Amino acid sequence: MDNRGYTSRIVKANLNADADSPGVMLGRYCIENEVPVTDVSKFFEVSRMTIYKWFAGEWIPRKRHVAKINEVLDKVS
């Protein structure tokens, strides 16, 4: 898998994180499809750091963000 745009640390953290977390699921999609973190952060109206924390499973998205994540993942699956 080519992960240009994502550091190996983020990719590894995402792979080792709880796959049931909505932020981790979103991260797996974004990493695999090379969706820029800047675009994701603008879409969810949060900082890039927040997105990285979601992707790594370090932070759990708020309920309003979980609903939006589920909408996005439902559209692309």
Task: Using alpha carbons, select from 20, 19, 21, 28 the residue that is nearest to residue 1.
Answer: 28
Q: Which residues contact 37 (CB under 8 A, 6 or more apart)?
A: 5, 6, 30, 48, 51, 52
pLDDT category at 4 given cuts 50, 70, 90 is low
- What predicted TM-score, i.e. pTM, was given to this entire model? 0.91
Q: How far is CA 72 from CA 1, 8, 52, in A?
A: 22, 25, 17
pLDDT category at 5 given cuts 50, 70, 90 is confident
Task: Using alpha carbons, select from 47, 70, 77, 76 the residue that is nearest to residue 59.
Answer: 47
Residue recorded with tokens 């994180």? 17
- The model's pLDDT over 49-67, given as tens digits with 9 standing for 90+, comes to 999 999 999 999 999 999 9
Over the chain, what is the mean pLDDT? 94
pLDDT category at 35 given cuts 50, 70, 90 is very high
